[in-house]
Structure 1
Amino acid sequence: MPVISAQKDPEALSLTFVAEFDADAERVWQLWADPRQLERWWGPPGWPATFVRHEFVVGGASRYHMTGPEGEKAHGWWTITAIDAPHQLEFDDGFAGEDGEPVDPADRTHAVVTLEQVGDRTRMTTVSTFRSREQLEKMAAMGMEEGMRQAMGQIDALLAEGHAAG
């Protein structure tokens, strides 16, 4: 499992994941930048993601949905707030309606993804910050920690495919 730690911090209103991958930062960065690669790991197993829009620029919008085993769809959105390729990405995200647009733009989390070269591996630290303790607890109750662990657990296979193809 690439996730080496997950920490919920109710005081800081955050959930932090640290994962390590056998690839350089440029390659791991592509997992975020390329919507076709992103959708292969963003949803946990059984809930694949489909990105119908992914504007990977500051101010850019992403719209996606995850499809469950019974065909149900969970829609989400991102607005990218900062990019420092291939080291850091920041975005706001939240729930979307069936049209892909935010249900309540104020009901969002803020994510900061940092990629750091550690020898021949890349450490990816993802910090999601919540607007309130209630929002943090709601997302935890919905299984966000386990879902992210499982989603990130799919990255190694995707990276291995890339090496075989490259």
Structure 2
Amino acid sequence: MPVTSVTTDPEALTMTLVADFPVPVERLWNAFADPRKLERFWGPPGYPATFGTYELRPGGIAHYWMTSPEGESFYGRWDFAEVEEPHRIVALDSFADAQGEVDTSMPTGRMTLNFESTPGGSRFTAVSASPTAEALEQVLAMGQVEGMTQAIGQLDAVIADLRDYALGKGTQVEVLDDQHVRITRAFDAPRHLIWRAHTEPELMKRWLLGPDGWRMSVCEVDPTPGGAYRYAWEPVDGTPDQGFGFDGETLVFEPERRIVTTERMTGADFPATTNDLSFAEDDGVTLLTLLITYADAAQRDAILATGMTDGMETSYARLERELLPVV
């Protein structure tokens, strides 16, 4: 976790976050200057940001929204006051509506982002100043500390060279808390190919098989939010009563970027999980990130104990070996 400290000062009406990174300050700055990179980490897990407008200059604005796993959007706006590449950004930080107009019923703060070189790389310092003590209490109660910490905690993967950071390491699993697990897998292929492999049934049937000896007998997908999907597998040798499947609902579908679905084993009594799958490309390498939300730690541990991630890696390796060369 790159975040080294988060402090609040009720007298100065500020929250200050500090994070250190092992990269030059120019690379750190670029993650904030490029809206496509900014979208990859701004917003806590499960609430990625989309920047519709991004004018990084004094007098410019940024209009963005964070989309929940249920498809609900939360809007914000920055009005840039100072931009000093690659060291400093100062902006008024406001809640907004879908058109980018400031929501005057909510407090507007002042956000100062500082970037500096260090012996080990670079340091990022964010200072959020509220106009009143009541406003500070309000944004803290809304989870500002947790949200910023989680957002900046995702920055490592954005500023890293993906070829060094994730390529060749297989399927990586990170337990975030009792209800959340993050799984990542990198592919030496452009994003549009990995997206096709996950959304076109005729391609999915060629790699999404788990261990050898199984075939995908059902692959029905409705990508429309609110639409249903169903997958089923059976042994290639036709052994009866050994098949299984999953079904659920599509919640969010953003082409070549994000798919959020519910998932439950067909016919089982277990609660459904929420699977938030995102696709990010950098220099021809695509990083696949799956954030799974479980009902509780018991369900999380029971599903992980099935060897789920080993089966995922077998499928991903098959995708690389058999599908990518010919798609």
The alignment's TM-score, normalised by the length of structure 2, stands at: 0.49
Name whichever of 49-58 and 152-161 sits farther off.
152-161
Secondary structure of residue in 2 paired with 1:145: helix
> Is the 8 Å Cα contact of residues 94 and 105 (structure 1) preserved in structure 2?
no
The 8 Å contact of residues 80 and 92 in structure 2, kept in 1 or not, is answered as yes
Q: CA–CA distance in 1 between the matches of 2:123 and 2:163?
A: 18
Q: Which has the higher contact order (CA 8 A, sep 6+)?
A: 1
Structure of higher CA gyration radius: 2
Match of 2:63 in 1: 63
CA contact (8 A) 2:95 2:106 kept: no
Shift of 1:107: 2.8
Displacement of 1:2 in angstroms is: 0.6
Instruction: Say if 2:119 is the partner of 1:119.
Output: yes
1:84 deviation in Å?
1.2
SS in 1 for 2:160: helix
Q: Which residue of 1 aligns with 2:145?
A: 145
1:118 maps to amino acid: T
The farther-off stretch of 18-27 and 155-164 is 155-164
Which residue of the partner structure matches residue 93 of structure 2? 93
Structure 2: distance between partners of 1:163 and 1:60: 34
* Greater shift in the superposed pair: 111-120 or 142-151: 111-120
Distance of 1:59 and 1:137 partners within structure 2: 29
Corresponding residue of 1:19: 19
1:100: Cα distance to partner? 2.0
Unaligned runs of 5+ in 2: 165-282, 285-327
What TM-score do the two structures reach when normalised by structure 1? Answer: 0.95
Deviations 1:97-143 (A, max 9, x none): 12221112983110111111111311111000000011100000000
- Residue aligned with 1:100, SS: coil
Paired letter, 1:124: F
Structure 1 residues 27, 163: closer, same or farther in 2, change over 3 A?
A: farther
Distance 2:72 2:106 in 1: 25
Q: 1:25-64 to 2 correspondence within 5 Å? A: 25-64=25-64
Q: How many residues align?
A: 166
Counterpart amino acid of residue 154 in structure 1: Q
How far apart in 2 are the matches of 1:21 and 1:130? 27
Q: SS where residue 98 of structure 2 aligns?
A: coil
C-alpha RMSD over aligned residues:
1.6
Aligned-pair identity in percent equals 44
Provide the C-alpha distance between the structure 2 equivalents of 1:18 and 1:80, rounded to a whole number of angstroms.
Answer: 21
